[in-house]
Amino acid sequence: MAEKRPRARATYHHGDLRAALIAAGIDRARTGGPQAVGLREVTRAVGVAPNSAYGHFPTLTELKRAVAREARVAMAEAMSAHLDSVAVSGHPGEAAEAYLREVGRAYVGYALAEPGLFRMAMGGDPTGIRVPAAPGGDDDDRPRPRFHLERALDRLIAAGRLRREDTGRAVMASWATVHGLSIMLLDLLPQLPAAAKQAAVDDALDVLVAGLTRSRP
């Protein structure tokens, strides 16, 4: 007797297969990271034959690229929620520095809260990703993590705490700090208590802000 294929999810309708496959990829990435995303696995989750995916994603690379793009959107939305929940006010210079710190906290906080999606967002695209503040690299206008970094650096420039010509160096230093710290806390120091992790984040961001805003000749 031939084996019956699982029925498609109730939310799947003809014409929505691409979106359904990406959503299934996000579900798998959340629990298993980039390595959990495969064509057979996502088509099985949606309830279609693997061949059905090829019209949308001819290769696994194309599927992972689309899932990574969607994961970056989810990460940016979570960062937005954090930034909306904190009050940053006062002197423009101090407020700009505080905002950059909160952007950093939002980045690392998402990595610790959603390690699978974080790894998918920032390292799951086989074709490579761009520095978060670099232009281009995505095919729509939805926010990405780079949007929050761009805005934070613009605020520092407007407050006279960062020279515009130093933006490139500031992007790299900021990304290296928060991304490197995220990977360290996830892979090298997962046993640290929550308070110690928070202290490490605070210390790293203090050093970053001090370095970016110090006077240069």
Tokens at residue 90, please?
């006062």
Residue 14 within any structural domain of the chain: no
Mean pLDDT taken over the chain: 87
Residue 80 within any structural domain of the chain: yes
Number of domains present in the structure of the chain: 1
Q: What is the CATH number of the domain that holds 208?
A: 1.10.357.10
Q: What is the pLDDT of residue 209?
A: 97
pLDDT-based confidence at 9, cuts 50/70/90?
Answer: very low
Residue 61 within any structural domain of the chain: no
Q: Is the pLDDT of residue 63 over 90?
A: yes
The Cβ-side half-sphere exposure at 141, using a 13 Å CA radius, reads 0
Residue 154 within any structural domain of the chain: yes
Give 131-178 as a DSSP string.
-TTSS-SSSS-S--HHHHHHHHHHHHHHTTSS-GGGHHHHHHHHHHHH
Name the H helices within the chain.
17-32, 39-46, 60-85, 92-113, 115-123, 145-158, 167-183, 194-213
Residue 125 within any structural domain of the chain: yes
Residue 24 within any structural domain of the chain: no
Residue 34 within any structural domain of the chain: no
Mean of pLDDT values over 52-80: 92
Q: Is the pLDDT of residue 200 over 50?
A: yes
Residue 11 within any structural domain of the chain: no
Domain that holds residue 208: 68-213
Mean of pLDDT values over 22-43: 95
